[in-house]
Amino acid sequence: MVRRYIYVNSFCGCGLFDFFTSSQSKIIMKSKNKKIVLLLAGGTTLNEQDIGGSSVHQEKDIQSWLNQIAEISLMAEIEPVFICGEENKLKGIELWQKISRLIYEKADKADGFVIVAGLEAILNLGIALSFALRNLNKAIILTSSQISREVIELSDWQEKKKKSYGGLGVKANLINSVQTVNLGLPAAALMFGNRIIRPVKAKRIQRFGLNLFESADGSYLGKIDFGISLTEKLPIKNQRVELNDKFQDKIQIINYLPGIDFNEAMDNQAKGIIIRDLPNLRLLDVNQRSSPILVYSPFMHGTKTASDNIIVVDDLTWETAVVKFMWALGQGGNVGILMKHELCNEFIHH
């Protein structure tokens, strides 16, 4: 009888090895042959005792880093791809486009993708991929380490680490990410602690901790206890993945303040304007503008606008609204129609 070990994240966040035999071992043997492309773009630190030696700074570091997490090579055929290191990270649209294009190019040759990226970039990256890659039929799982040289120097680091049950390195999340790809989840998802969440519905709830993110509407793609269970059965699409990775970053974000003169505040060079927390649309007294104005406000649910150029949004997370707006502007069509059309289960239903 063949026996295999598989790593899972327990309910308390501590890594442990569960012993699987018979039919369960056959499942794991099958998954060993799956090909997973592992994209590395920062956020790779495994432990605080040896930050330099347990991180990927250059492409030449990858093999020694993989040797420290040999479990994932038992679960699947891993193809590592170096994007950037810990010190010289790509940011914003440059990172979104580089990774979305690599996934598009390798989509027919891989069973799924795991992305490890810097913690500060992971949420927006996941949202961007959700819009840039249409007809997803492979899993794209994103995760990151919470350990860096900066954070371990914080005065309350040891206390933060204790409360997180030692789950701040990337190892447990990475192993669970590989397992989730093997389950065949055709979606982009964040993997942290014991939650698998769509990036378009995720909101960060703490600076450090086992579960950094929670769902804005309580819906999760899966949860982890002593194994991974998917809570949504998603159909696998037969169409080829499409790439629509143009984003417009010449936008301006204005936070509403009483008495603000929007005509004075708005940048005429911006391709799009976002106004946050406007309590009443009548306060938006602006001259005719050609660039779209997105009003992100929880106060105006169901509000209709007289102008196609003014779009009211309250059914997206803040991060998703911003990234989707940048994406919609980049497509060159009717921005209002794109913002109101659900594309990747991003709407939060009231």
> How far is CA 243 from its chain centroid?
17
CATH number for position 324: 3.40.50.40
Contact at 8 Å (CB) between 65 and 109? no
- Classify residue 101 as exposed, middle or buried by CB count within 10 Å of its CB (0-12, 13-18, 19+): middle
* Same-domain pairing of 214 and 297: no
The stretches of the chain forming alpha helices (DSSP H) are 22-31, 62-67, 71-75, 92-106, 122-132, 149-152, 157-163, 171-182, 262-265, 318-331, 335-340
Q: Which residues pair with 17 in a beta bridge?
A: 7
Mean pLDDT, the chain, as a whole number?
85
Last residue of a domain, one of 243, 259, 294: 243
Do 195 and 161 reside in the same domain of the chain?
yes
Do 58 and 170 lie in one domain? The reply is yes
CA angle 336, 189, 47 (to 5 degrees): 135
The helix (run of H) or strand (run of E) holding residue 265 is helix 262-265
The CA distance from 348 to 324, in Å, is 14
CATH code, 44: 3.40.50.1170
Query: pLDDT > 70: what percent of the chain?
Result: 84
Number of domains in the chain: 2
For residue 24, what pLDDT is reported? 38
Q: Are residues 221 and 185 in the same domain?
A: yes
User: Are 76 and 194 in the same domain?
Assistant: yes
Where is pLDDT greater, at 167 or 300?
300
pTM for the full model?
A: 0.87
Is 350 within a domain? no
Encode pLDDT of 59-85 as tens digits.
Answer: 999 999 999 999 999 999 999 999 999
Residue 232 and residue 302 share a domain: no
Please tell me whether residues 85 and 218 are part of one structural domain.
yes
Does 51 reside within a domain?
Answer: yes
pLDDT tens for residues 116-130? 999 999 999 999 999
Kindly state whether residue 210 falls inside one of the protein's structural domains. Answer: yes
| Structural domain range at position 264 | 251-340
Reported as a single tens digit per residue, the pLDDT across 312-343 is 999 999 999 999 999 999 998 899 999 999 99
**Domain check: are 177 and 310 in the same one?**
no
Of 204, 222, 243, which one is at a domain's C-terminal end? 243
Measured in degrees and rounded to the nearest 5, phi and psi for residue 97 equal: -70, -40
Whole-angstrom Cα distance, residue 38 to residue 80? 5
Highest mean pLDDT among 21-30, 90-99, 157-166: 90-99
Q: 252: which 2 tokens?
A: 């301006």
- Angstrom CA distances, 344 to 125, 138, 240, stand at 14, 14, 16
Please identify which residue in the block is written with the tokens 């891993």: 78
Residue 210 CB coordination number (10 Å) = 23
- Residue 228 resides in a domain: yes
Asked which of 243, 277, 312 is the last residue of a domain, the reply is: 243
In 153-283, which ranges are E strands? 188-192, 195-197, 202-204, 213-215, 222-224, 228-230, 242-243, 251-255, 272-276
Q: What is the pLDDT of residue 298?
A: 83
